């Protein structure tokens, strides 16, 4: 669920809440993957000041004064939540919050800050990970080597999008959008939303999608990603921002999780099906089924 808008929302929250603060202590459970090297944690994490919080694709990059960075991937159910020492979840905004008390049983890593407050990495399904890495080596990791362009940067032009998507000519267009080496940050929610916006059936093979449709799709993806960031992301089940609060994009979603409701464009009932191994939401009137797929 955390896709580009959710990770970007967390990034913005963390930037506001933890930059210039110093990590005093670290605790973790026995989850594989962290700490990757306890000696590095002692030397380069404990006592480090957080200098910046960046994002590339769906990965958070928390830069430290020691020349190391903490990389975090939330995968499906990961959360990065900052709590100050006086926080009481749900107080005043009971509908905003999914979290009542931290740590809870999904907490994997807890960072205590010298200035007060704690940062929790929670992950119910344990697919997510946290890694400590020298900052200068981030871009040499296999994922960073292969990941595609950021869809909201000015360099992400129609030409760039079309040429990269065309590498997957025999794939359904939805599979191509989910491929992080084609472009960064799209997941199941925004793939469905963008394809509905561009009126393309998700099963259509890339070779059967016209350049004109791909130009519309690029525009739709950018529009929906920007709107989702503005709404603080989508909370389907687990996602919360850096303050433990839900995002509201699901209130604006046109097809995702809207099966059996009317299409906001034509009124036909939205269907749920399966494409590229994923639950997929479509309006068959707006997104006619391709002939050969």
Partner DNA sequence: CACTTGACCTGTCCGC
Partner DNA sequence: TGCGGACAGGTCAAGT
Please give the positions annotated as active site. Answer: 2-3, 58, 278
Report in angstroms how near the CB of residue 44 gets to DNA at its nearest: 23
Radius of gyration over every alpha carbon of the chain, rounded to an integer in angstroms: 20
Residues 120-159 that bind DNA (CB under 7 A): 124-127, 142-143
**Residue 48 or 253 with smaller CB distance to DNA:** 253
CA distance 257 to 115: 41
CA distance 2 to 235: 9
Instruction: Give the number of residues in contact with DNA, rule: CB under 7 A.
Output: 38
187 binds DNA (CB under 7 A): yes
**Residue 19 or 205 with smaller CB distance to DNA:** 205
CB 263 within 8 A of CB 283: yes
- Which range, of 11-19, 107-115, 263-271, 275-283, touches DNA by CB under 7 A? 275-283
Report in angstroms how near the CB of residue 171 gets to DNA at its nearest: 4
224 binds DNA (CB under 7 A): no
User: What is the helix (H) or strand (E) element at residue 39, kind and residue range?
Assistant: helix 38-40
255 binds DNA (CB under 7 A): no
CA distance 226 to 154: 13
User: What is the helix (H) or strand (E) element at residue 281, kind and residue range?
Assistant: strand 278-282
278 binds DNA (CB under 7 A): yes
Report in angstroms how near the CB of residue 76 gets to DNA at its nearest: 5
- Beta-carbon contacts of 105 under 8 Å, excluding residues fewer than 6 positions away, are none
Q: Label the pairing between strands 118-123 and 107-113.
A: antiparallel
Report in angstroms how near the CB of residue 49 gets to DNA at its nearest: 28
247 binds DNA (CB under 7 A): no
**Residue 166 or 199 with smaller CB distance to DNA:** 166
Tokens for 261, please give them. Answer: 């409701």
**Residue 58 or 245 with smaller CB distance to DNA:** 58
For residue 222, which of 163, 280, 279, 161 has the smallest C-alpha distance? 161
- Which range, of 43-51, 153-161, 243-251, 269-277, touches DNA by CB under 7 A? 269-277
For residue 246, which of 4, 9, 55 has the smallest C-alpha distance? 9
CA distance 292 to 210: 15
Largest Cα–Cα distance of the chain, in whole Å? Answer: 62
CA distance 55 to 18: 15
Which of 50, 57, 221, 263 is in the footprint of DNA by CB under 7 A? 57
Report in angstroms how near the CB of residue 3 gets to DNA at its nearest: 5
172 binds DNA (CB under 7 A): yes
- Which range, of 17-25, 45-53, 64-72, 185-193, touches DNA by CB under 7 A? 185-193
CB 234 within 8 A of CB 212: no
What is the binding site for DNA (CB under 7 A)?
Answer: 1-3, 32, 57-59, 73, 75-76, 105-106, 124-127, 142-143, 167-172, 175, 178, 180, 187-189, 206, 236, 272, 274, 276-279
């Amino acid at each position: 669920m955390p896709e580009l808008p959710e990770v970007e929302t967390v990034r913005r929250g963390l930037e506001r809440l933890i930059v210039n603060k110093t990590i005093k202590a670290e605790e973790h459970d026995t989850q594989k993957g962290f700490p990757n090297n306890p000696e590095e944690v002692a030397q380069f994490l404990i006592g480090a000041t957080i200098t910046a919080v960046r994002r590339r694709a769906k990965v958070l990059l928390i830069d430290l004064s020691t020349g190391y960075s903490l990389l975090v991937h939330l995968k499906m159910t990961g959360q990065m939540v900052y709590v100050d020492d006086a926080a009481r979840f749900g107080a005043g905004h009971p509908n905003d919050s999914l979290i009542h008390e931290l740590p809870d049983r999904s907490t994997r890593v807890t960072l205590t800050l010298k200035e007060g407050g704690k940062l929790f990495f929670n992950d119910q399904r344990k697919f997510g990970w946290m890694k400590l890495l020298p900052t200068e080596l981030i871009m040499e990791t296999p994922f960073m080597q292969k990941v595609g362009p950021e869809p909201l940067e000015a360099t992400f032009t129609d030409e760039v999008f079309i040429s990269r998507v065309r590498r997957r000519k025999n794939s359904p267009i939805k599979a191509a959008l989910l491929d992080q080496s084609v472009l960064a940050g799209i997941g199941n929610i925004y793939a469905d939303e963008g394809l509905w916006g561009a009126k393309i059936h998700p099963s259509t093979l890339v070779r059967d999608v016209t350049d004109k449709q791909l130009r519309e799709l690029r525009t739709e993806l950018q529009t929906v990603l920007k709107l989702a960031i503005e709404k603080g992301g989508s909370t389907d089940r687990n996602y919360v921002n850096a303050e433990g609060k839900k995002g509201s994009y699901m209130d604006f979603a046109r097809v995702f999780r809207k099966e059996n409701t009317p299409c906001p464009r034509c009124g036909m009932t939205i269907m749920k099906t399966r494409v590229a191994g994923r639950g997929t939401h479509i309006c068959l009137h707006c997104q006619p089924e391709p002939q050969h797929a």
